[in-house]
Amino acid sequence: MYQLFLSLVTVSSVQAASHGYSWAYSGAHGEKTWPTNYGFCGGVYQSPLDFHENILQYDSSLRPIKLFGYDVATAESFTVSNNGHSVSVTLVPTMKIEIEPFHYTASQLHLHWGHKNNPKGSEHCIEGRRFPAEVHVVHYNSDKYTDITKATEAADGLAVLGILIEVGSFNPSFENILSHLNSIKYKDQSIQIAGFNVQELFPKRLDEYFRYEGSLTTPPCNPSVLWTVFRNPVLISEAQLFALETTLYCTDRNSSEPIQMTNNYRQLQAHGDRLVSVSFREGVVLTVALACGLGVLVVLVVTCVLIHRKRSRKPADNKNIAYVQAAGVEENTSKV
Ligand SMILES: [Zn+2]
């Protein structure tokens, strides 16, 4: 208990001391250095995860995600900005989701992507497969907390929706964001854009998803996120992905050494003792059935081997008994 207290104190003092510390995905401030300056990054319940079958469990209580106020009128506006780590779109507080028992208010969305020569930059992976890119729509628990800052400090403070991106046909909804990248090429640049229906960025099926308790995937890595990652990816065109991978810079306009914003995804984290709940049966049930079948098979094989051993040992034992007890036993065995 004392050790836990001590580590909490250490974590908070390190975080206080590191206020304003710059971080990056590679180089001198790359993610290996994050835990030094942001204690949570080296802690438990970290994200992202690879969703592989032996940590998945079907949960029949998981309901489809409900979106409220996501169809934002064009009269309203969003701010699209380059924060040096990603492109971020501030959302409006009338956008909410419900994940029982709480309502969560939308705060912002941003993206993670790879590099034009290796276009694999999603954070979450499925069965070891990394997708070209991923959208995160960040919400905070507005039933319990007054603002996102307070919510980020709490274990049940945030709910992030993850949308995996695959290459396919042109996606006009994503163009609401991607067509403005040229206006925010450099860090700290931003632009106002007209409201649009943010639900159009989502896959059609809001009932099929992975669910687990994890963290922010960027410093300070607070373990305060209820993650929902949709099973089905959305499509954007190759040209749209290319624009995402090549337009932005982590550095500001006046930098003498401009750094392109690429591979802005965190490495996979250990799942530890966590399981990932899934809302869909297909695939998972089959896995469980196979595992049960395999278990029964193993029991049968072991039983057969034991029976076989017992049988093959019997004559030897009899011989042994016969040898030790000599004539008397020979008499007995002759009666069998
Ligand atoms: Zn993110």
Model confidence pLDDT, tens digit, residues 315-328:
433 333 333 333 33
Q: pTM for this structure?
A: 0.80
Please compute the mean of the pLDDT values over residues 43-53 and round it to a whole number: 97
Please give the Cα distance from 127 to 195 (Å, whole number).
Answer: 36
Active-site entry in 85, 124, 139, 271: 85
**292: confidence class by pLDDT, cuts 50, 70, 90:** very low
For the chain, give the percent of residues with pLDDT over 70.
78
* Ligand 1 midpoint to CA 136 (Å): 5
* Ligand 1 midpoint to CA 230 (Å): 14
pLDDT at 9: 33
Provide the token pair at 127. Answer: 């069965």
Task: Give the distance from CA 215 to its chain's centroid.
Answer: 9
Question: Taking 60 as the threshold, does the pLDDT of residue 18 lie above it?
Answer: no
Question: Taking 90 as the threshold, does the pLDDT of residue 122 lie above it?
Answer: yes
Of 224, 275, 229, 268, nearest to 40 by C-alpha is 224
Report the chain's mean pLDDT, rounded to a whole number: 85
Of 30, 40, 80, 82, nearest to 263 by C-alpha is 30
Which are the contacts of 271, defined by CB distance < 8 A and separation ≥ 6? 49, 55
pLDDT higher at 165 or 282: 165
Please give the Cα distance from 285 to 288 (Å, whole number).
Answer: 5
Digit-coded pLDDT (tens) for 182-234: 999 999 999 999 999 999 999 999 999 999 999 999 999 999 999 999 999 99
Provide the token pair at 227. Answer: 């993650």
Q: Any catalytic annotation for residue 112?
A: no
* Ligand 1 midpoint to CA 179 (Å): 20
pLDDT at 36: 96
pLDDT at 21: 73
* Ligand 1 midpoint to CA 47 (Å): 10
Please compute the mean of the pLDDT values over residues 31-35 and round it to a whole number: 97
Kindly report the number of other CB atoms within 10 A of residue 71's CB atom: 13
* Ligand 1 midpoint to CA 324 (Å): 77
Q: What is the 3-state secondary structure (H, E, C) of the chain?
A: CHHHHHHHHHHHHHHHHCCCCCCCCCHHHCHHHHHHHCHHHHCCCCCCCEECHHHEEECCCCCCCEEECCECCCCCEEEEEECCCCEEEECCCCCEEEECCEEEEEEEEEEEECECCECCCCCCEECCEECCEEEEEEEEECCCCCCHHHHHCCCCCEEEEEEEEEECCCCCCCHHHHCCHHHHCCCCCEEEEECCEHHHHCCCCCCCEEEEEECCCCCCCCCCEEEEEECCCEEECHHHHHHHHHCCECCCCCCCCCCECCCCCCCCCCCCCCCEEECCCCCHHHHHHHHHHHHHHHHHHHHHHHHHHHHHHHHHHHHHHHHHHCHHHHHHHHHC
For the chain, give the percent of residues with pLDDT over 90.
77
